[in-house]
Structure 1
Amino acid sequence: MEPRQPEEHPACANPTERKSHHSEKVKTNLTSRLNRIEGQVRGIKKMIENDTYCDDVLNQISAVQSALNSVGKILLEGHLRSCVTERLQEGDTEVIEELLTTVKKLMK
Protein backbone atom coordinates (compact mmCIF):
# COMPACT_ATOMS: atom_id res chain seq x y z
CA MET A 1 0.00 0.00 0.00
CA GLU A 2 1.46 3.35 -1.05
CA PRO A 3 1.56 6.25 1.41
CA ARG A 4 -1.33 8.62 1.04
CA GLN A 5 -0.38 11.80 -0.77
CA PRO A 6 -1.94 15.05 0.43
CA GLU A 7 -4.32 16.67 -2.01
CA GLU A 8 -3.45 20.06 -3.45
CA HIS A 9 -4.97 22.80 -1.32
CA PRO A 10 -3.64 26.26 -2.15
CA ALA A 11 -5.53 27.79 0.77
CA CYS A 12 -3.05 26.21 3.19
CA ALA A 13 -0.08 27.81 1.51
CA ASN A 14 -1.49 31.33 1.49
CA PRO A 15 -1.31 32.78 5.02
CA THR A 16 -3.78 35.56 4.18
CA GLU A 17 -6.34 33.02 2.99
CA ARG A 18 -5.74 30.01 5.20
CA LYS A 19 -8.82 27.88 5.47
CA SER A 20 -9.46 24.33 6.45
CA HIS A 21 -10.32 21.86 3.74
CA HIS A 22 -12.09 19.04 5.48
CA SER A 23 -14.19 16.56 3.56
CA GLU A 24 -17.94 16.71 4.05
CA LYS A 25 -17.71 13.44 6.00
CA VAL A 26 -15.19 14.95 8.45
CA LYS A 27 -17.23 18.16 8.78
CA THR A 28 -20.35 16.14 9.52
CA ASN A 29 -18.48 14.05 12.10
CA LEU A 30 -17.00 17.10 13.83
CA THR A 31 -20.30 18.99 13.78
CA SER A 32 -22.11 16.02 15.28
CA ARG A 33 -19.51 15.69 18.03
CA LEU A 34 -19.66 19.41 18.78
CA ASN A 35 -23.47 19.34 18.92
CA ARG A 36 -23.27 16.54 21.50
CA ILE A 37 -20.69 18.51 23.48
CA GLU A 38 -22.90 21.58 23.35
CA GLY A 39 -25.75 19.52 24.77
CA GLN A 40 -23.50 18.16 27.50
CA VAL A 41 -22.46 21.68 28.48
CA ARG A 42 -26.10 22.77 28.68
CA GLY A 43 -26.70 19.71 30.85
CA ILE A 44 -23.87 20.71 33.18
CA LYS A 45 -25.36 24.18 33.50
CA LYS A 46 -28.72 22.66 34.49
CA MET A 47 -26.99 20.34 36.96
CA ILE A 48 -25.42 23.36 38.66
CA GLU A 49 -28.71 25.28 38.64
CA ASN A 50 -30.39 22.24 40.22
CA ASP A 51 -27.72 21.87 42.92
CA THR A 52 -26.63 18.46 41.63
CA TYR A 53 -24.00 16.70 43.73
CA CYS A 54 -20.56 18.11 42.88
CA ASP A 55 -18.98 14.77 42.03
CA ASP A 56 -21.66 14.12 39.41
CA VAL A 57 -21.07 17.54 37.85
CA LEU A 58 -17.31 16.99 37.84
CA ASN A 59 -17.78 13.65 36.07
CA GLN A 60 -19.82 15.37 33.37
CA ILE A 61 -17.14 18.06 33.00
CA SER A 62 -14.57 15.31 32.57
CA ALA A 63 -16.70 13.74 29.82
CA VAL A 64 -16.93 17.09 27.99
CA GLN A 65 -13.18 17.60 28.25
CA SER A 66 -12.58 14.13 26.83
CA ALA A 67 -15.01 14.77 23.98
CA LEU A 68 -13.30 18.07 23.15
CA ASN A 69 -9.92 16.33 23.20
CA SER A 70 -11.26 13.84 20.67
CA VAL A 71 -12.36 16.67 18.38
CA GLY A 72 -8.92 18.25 18.77
CA LYS A 73 -7.18 14.99 17.86
CA ILE A 74 -9.23 14.63 14.69
CA LEU A 75 -8.47 18.21 13.68
CA LEU A 76 -4.78 17.88 14.54
CA GLU A 77 -4.41 14.71 12.48
CA GLY A 78 -6.06 16.34 9.47
CA HIS A 79 -3.92 19.44 9.90
CA LEU A 80 -0.72 17.37 10.00
CA ARG A 81 -1.70 15.29 6.98
CA SER A 82 -2.66 18.28 4.86
CA CYS A 83 -1.65 21.83 5.75
CA VAL A 84 1.54 21.05 7.65
CA THR A 85 2.72 18.49 5.08
CA GLU A 86 2.01 20.83 2.18
CA ARG A 87 3.73 23.79 3.76
CA LEU A 88 6.81 21.73 4.61
CA GLN A 89 6.94 20.40 1.04
CA GLU A 90 6.91 24.03 -0.12
CA GLY A 91 9.85 24.81 2.19
CA ASP A 92 7.80 26.80 4.70
CA THR A 93 9.38 25.74 8.00
CA GLU A 94 7.48 28.42 9.98
CA VAL A 95 4.67 25.88 10.17
CA ILE A 96 6.74 23.89 12.68
CA GLU A 97 6.77 26.74 15.21
CA GLU A 98 3.08 27.34 14.58
CA LEU A 99 2.36 23.65 15.18
CA LEU A 100 4.48 23.50 18.35
CA THR A 101 2.62 26.49 19.77
CA THR A 102 -0.70 24.87 18.98
CA VAL A 103 0.29 21.51 20.48
CA LYS A 104 1.47 23.24 23.67
CA LYS A 105 -1.93 24.93 23.97
CA LEU A 106 -3.73 21.63 23.42
CA MET A 107 -1.65 19.94 26.10
CA LYS A 108 -2.46 22.46 28.86
Structure 2
Amino acid sequence: MANISQLSEEERNDIVQRLKRIEGQARGVQKMVDEDRECGDILTQLASIRAAVNSLNGELLEAYLLRCIQNPDDFGSPEKAVQQAVRALVRS
Protein backbone atom coordinates (compact mmCIF):
# COMPACT_ATOMS: atom_id res chain seq x y z
CA MET A 1 0.00 0.00 0.00
CA ALA A 2 1.05 3.57 -0.54
CA ASN A 3 1.57 5.57 2.63
CA ILE A 4 1.93 9.29 3.00
CA SER A 5 5.43 8.62 4.37
CA GLN A 6 6.45 7.50 0.89
CA LEU A 7 6.14 11.07 -0.37
CA SER A 8 9.11 13.37 -0.18
CA GLU A 9 9.48 15.63 2.83
CA GLU A 10 8.79 18.61 0.58
CA GLU A 11 5.56 17.02 -0.67
CA ARG A 12 4.42 16.20 2.86
CA ASN A 13 5.22 19.74 4.04
CA ASP A 14 3.21 21.14 1.14
CA ILE A 15 0.25 18.94 2.10
CA VAL A 16 0.44 20.03 5.74
CA GLN A 17 0.62 23.71 4.74
CA ARG A 18 -2.37 23.34 2.46
CA LEU A 19 -4.33 21.57 5.19
CA LYS A 20 -3.49 24.37 7.63
CA ARG A 21 -4.70 26.90 5.08
CA ILE A 22 -7.95 24.95 4.66
CA GLU A 23 -8.30 24.77 8.44
CA GLY A 24 -7.88 28.54 8.64
CA GLN A 25 -10.52 29.03 5.97
CA ALA A 26 -12.93 26.77 7.89
CA ARG A 27 -12.32 28.72 11.08
CA GLY A 28 -13.00 31.90 9.14
CA VAL A 29 -16.35 30.52 7.99
CA GLN A 30 -17.19 29.55 11.56
CA LYS A 31 -16.44 33.12 12.62
CA MET A 32 -18.63 34.43 9.80
CA VAL A 33 -21.52 32.29 11.08
CA ASP A 34 -20.92 33.48 14.65
CA GLU A 35 -20.99 37.07 13.38
CA ASP A 36 -24.26 36.47 11.48
CA ARG A 37 -22.73 37.33 8.10
CA GLU A 38 -24.58 37.16 4.79
CA CYS A 39 -25.27 33.67 3.44
CA GLY A 40 -23.84 34.61 0.05
CA ASP A 41 -20.52 35.57 1.61
CA ILE A 42 -20.42 32.33 3.57
CA LEU A 43 -21.24 30.29 0.47
CA THR A 44 -18.42 32.00 -1.40
CA GLN A 45 -15.97 31.03 1.32
CA LEU A 46 -17.30 27.46 1.39
CA ALA A 47 -16.76 27.25 -2.36
CA SER A 48 -13.16 28.34 -1.80
CA ILE A 49 -12.70 25.62 0.79
CA ARG A 50 -14.22 23.02 -1.52
CA ALA A 51 -11.88 24.10 -4.33
CA ALA A 52 -8.86 23.86 -2.03
CA VAL A 53 -9.88 20.39 -0.83
CA ASN A 54 -10.56 19.22 -4.40
CA SER A 55 -7.17 20.48 -5.53
CA LEU A 56 -5.38 18.70 -2.69
CA ASN A 57 -7.42 15.56 -3.37
CA GLY A 58 -6.34 15.66 -7.01
CA GLU A 59 -2.67 15.93 -6.14
CA LEU A 60 -2.82 13.08 -3.64
CA LEU A 61 -4.77 10.96 -6.10
CA GLU A 62 -2.16 11.61 -8.78
CA ALA A 63 0.66 10.59 -6.44
CA TYR A 64 -1.24 7.45 -5.43
CA LEU A 65 -2.00 6.45 -9.01
CA LEU A 66 1.62 6.96 -10.01
CA ARG A 67 2.65 4.71 -7.13
CA CYS A 68 0.20 2.04 -8.31
CA ILE A 69 1.63 2.20 -11.83
CA GLN A 70 5.30 2.44 -10.91
CA ASN A 71 5.32 -0.13 -8.10
CA PRO A 72 2.55 -2.66 -8.71
CA ASP A 73 4.34 -5.33 -6.69
CA ASP A 74 3.89 -3.18 -3.58
CA PHE A 75 0.20 -4.03 -3.88
CA GLY A 76 0.76 -7.77 -4.27
CA SER A 77 0.35 -7.94 -8.03
CA PRO A 78 -0.28 -5.68 -11.03
CA GLU A 79 -3.95 -6.68 -10.93
CA LYS A 80 -4.30 -5.61 -7.30
CA ALA A 81 -2.51 -2.35 -8.08
CA VAL A 82 -5.06 -1.65 -10.82
CA GLN A 83 -7.92 -2.53 -8.45
CA GLN A 84 -6.56 -0.13 -5.84
CA ALA A 85 -6.12 2.60 -8.45
CA VAL A 86 -9.71 2.17 -9.66
CA ARG A 87 -11.03 2.24 -6.08
CA ALA A 88 -9.11 5.45 -5.43
CA LEU A 89 -10.55 7.04 -8.57
CA VAL A 90 -14.09 6.02 -7.67
CA ARG A 91 -13.76 7.39 -4.12
CA SER A 92 -12.39 10.71 -5.29
Q: Same fold (TM over 0.5)?
A: yes
Q: Number of residue pairs matched?
A: 89
Q: Which ranges in structure 1 are unaligned for 5 or more consecutive residues? A: 1-11, 13-17
1:52 aligns with 2:37: yes
Greater per-residue helix proportion: 2
Q: CA deviation at 1:88?
A: 6.0
Look up the equivalent residue of 2:37 and give its one-letter code.
T
CA contact (8 A) 2:64 2:85 kept: no
CA distance in 2, matches of 1:98, 1:81: 12
Runs of 4+ in 1 over 6 A off after TM superposition: none
Of 19, 23, 28, which aligns to 2:3? 19
Give the aligned CA root-mean-square deviation in angstroms. 1.9
Gaps of 5+ in 2: none
Give the aligned partner of residue 52 of structure 2. 67
Which whole-Å deviations, capped at 9, do the CAs of 1:20-71 have from their partners, x for residues lacking one? 3010110111111100000000001111111110010001000001001111
Measure how far apart 1:99 and its partner are. Answer: 2.4
> C-alpha displacement at 1:97, in angstroms?
2.6
| 1:80 CA drift (Å) | 1.5
Q: Does 1:104 align with 2:90?
A: yes
- Equivalent residue of 1:67, what SS? helix
Secondary structure in 1 matching 2:78: coil
More relative contact order in 1 or in 2 (CA 8 Å, sep 6+)? 1
TM-score by length of 2: 0.84
